[in-house]
Amino acid sequence: MAENLTLIQAGYLAAAVLFIFGLRGLSSPKTAVMGNTLAAVGMLIAIVATLLYQKVVSYPLVLAGIGVGGGLGAVAALRVAMTGMPQMVALLNGLGGAASALVAGAEVLKAAQTGVAPTGIGPAAIVAAVLIGSITLTGSLIAFGKLQEIMNTSAMVYPLQQPSNFVFALGTLAVAVMAALDPTNLTWLYALAGLALLMGVLLTIPIGGADMPVVIALLNSYSGLAACAAGFVLDNSALVISGSLVGASGLILTNIMCVAMNRSLGNVLFGAFGSQDASAAASGADQGTAMAYTPIDAAVIFSNARTCVVVPGYGMAVAQAQHAVRELTEVLEEKGIKCKFAIHPVAGRMPGHMNVLLAEADVPYEQLVEMDDINPEFPETDVALVLGANDVVNPAAREDESSPIYGMPILEVDKSQNVFVIKRSMNPGFAGIQNPLFFKDNTMMIFGDAKKVVIELNDAVKNF
Ligand code: NAP
């Protein structure tokens, strides 16, 4: 058994090193696949090492768990569309939080049965895992419901909401302290779990659907912290390390998203962005008339162009237009038009959404340019091709101090010589606000499904 323990600890160390190198690999599209593989191998090693604890493991039960959980996970992963990925991540976070809470709860049940109370950091770790894990579960379910639009997506606000939530949070913390002081008492455990489950709901309903991706990144961090606490409960160093890595990376991602929207985390969590009142105020005054054009009109402009910057957004993901637009840029390049892709950090519905889709369509990495690097180039750009993007090119963020997105960094396509906007209608984007870009003199609206329009544009450019 002693040799086993050394082997197990060595396995955990190897897994932790692989997790860290895996995360490092994920920081660039070029090394992301390798990073993912390293982290997966690390997880396999951690699982095998854990299964070596023969005395505490029931192999048939573990196999049944792998079969049911792995089967459900594989089917869900194969069936989910790229646009549904945030919802999928929300569910996975919630289940991760629930697992940590259940593991900690099982320790209390064991303690209550044997009468042997956990010692040292044990009680605090149990309480942390139950508290954070339960909040993560219900918070993630609400986030899922809002993103899937099976519940009201707007921020749900009511009088005295924040003070009452504050009092509720204080009450929950008091119960958490009691549960930690009396770790064999099941009543405190059930009370804590119940209050924490309700708290997850109360903290998430005042946040509008438009901010849900940020909330999901934050809940991802919570699920990591809950796993870390469960790691202390089980005295499992691999779980402590992987939980900490998830907790830290989730927080970093949350911060990146807030910075990209020029919002503070406090504003996202408590600002009720997207409440019915705020949406009404944001609909804006009459902006004029947008001019509709055809792909053939656009091809005429392309015949005199030298440079083109494609700005992909959520609509490209919905239409699955990434392959068609890569083909279009190849045809344009053959005609001597230099093409680049401008990547906004929060284009689409999750960080890196556009990078993933364009990589899938084999768009060369060298053509992808980050926002800060491409913005100075727009005044010299002949055509900015806005493909299913809306909020990330909205000049109100720069010009209109009353706009809810004022201050959000945008791709400044309106400074280009010509702007083609491909979308299906005049409907607003995720933030629910109108876009003055559509009414500018240098903007041509080409209405239709992004993939269909790009294919037509491709034919028109070829025949010109
Ligand atoms: P967006 O502002 O949501 O606009 C997407 C546009 O795509 C819509 O106006 C829609 O217009 C169009 N569209 C939908 N389906 C289409 C189709 N089949 N063909 C053509 N067009 C289609 O998207 P975005 O510019 O990418 O901005 C992302 C938004 O998400 C921002 O508000 C950002 O703050 C928010 N967000 C993103 C993240 C992230 O991590 N990426 C995180 C938090 C928040 P029609 O309906 O008229 O076609």
H helices of 205-236, in order, are 212-234
Pocket of ligand 1 contains residue 424 by CB under 6 Å = yes
Residue 279's pLDDT is: 45
Q: DSSP characters for 56-100? A: G--HHHHHHHHHHHHHHHHHHHHH--GGGHHHHHHHHHHHHHHHH
State the CB neighbour count (10 A cutoff) for residue 244.
Answer: 17
Pocket of ligand 1 contains residue 397 by CB under 6 Å = no
Q: Report yes or no: 280 and 247 within 8 Å, Cβ to Cβ.
A: no
Pocket of ligand 1 contains residue 392 by CB under 6 Å = yes
Residue 203's pLDDT is: 93
Q: Which of 439, 408, 411 is nearest to 426 (CA)?
A: 439
The alpha carbon torsion through 371, 377, 381, 387 (nearest 10 deg) reads: 0
Catalytic pick from 362, 391, 414, 449? 391
Pocket of ligand 1 contains residue 410 by CB under 6 Å = no
Q: Residues 38-79: pLDDT tens digits?
A: 999 999 999 889 888 766 678 888 889 989 999 999 999 899
Q: Report yes or no: 329 and 367 within 8 Å, Cβ to Cβ.
A: yes
* Residue nearest (by alpha carbon) to ligand 1 atom 43: 213
Can you give the pTM of this predicted structure? 0.81
Residue 283's pLDDT is: 47
Which of the listed residues 146, 207, 258, 314 should we mutate to test ligand 1's pocket, taking the one with most ligand atoms within 8 A of CB?
Answer: 314
Which of the listed residues 391, 394, 403, 449 should we mutate to test ligand 1's pocket, taking the one with most ligand atoms within 8 A of CB?
Answer: 391
Give the residue-averaged pLDDT of 339-345: 95
Residue 277's pLDDT is: 47
Cα of 97 vs centre of ligand 1, distance in Å, is 29
Residue 286's pLDDT is: 58
Residue 281's pLDDT is: 43
305 residue type, one letter:
A
Residue 101's pLDDT is: 97
**Mean pLDDT over each residue of the chain, to the nearest integer:** 90
Give the residue-averaged pLDDT of 240-266: 89
Residue 453's pLDDT is: 97
Pocket of ligand 1 contains residue 312 by CB under 6 Å = no
Question: Please, is 319 exposed, middle or buried when counting C-beta atoms within 10 Å of its C-beta (0-12, 13-18, 19+)?
Answer: buried
pLDDT above 90: percentage of residues in the chain: 65
Residue 247's pLDDT is: 95
Query: CA 287 to CA 441: how far, in whole Å?
Result: 12
Q: Residues 359-418: pLDDT tens digits?
A: 889 999 889 999 999 999 999 999 999 999 999 999 999 999 888 888 889 999 999 999
**Catalytic status, residue 391:** yes
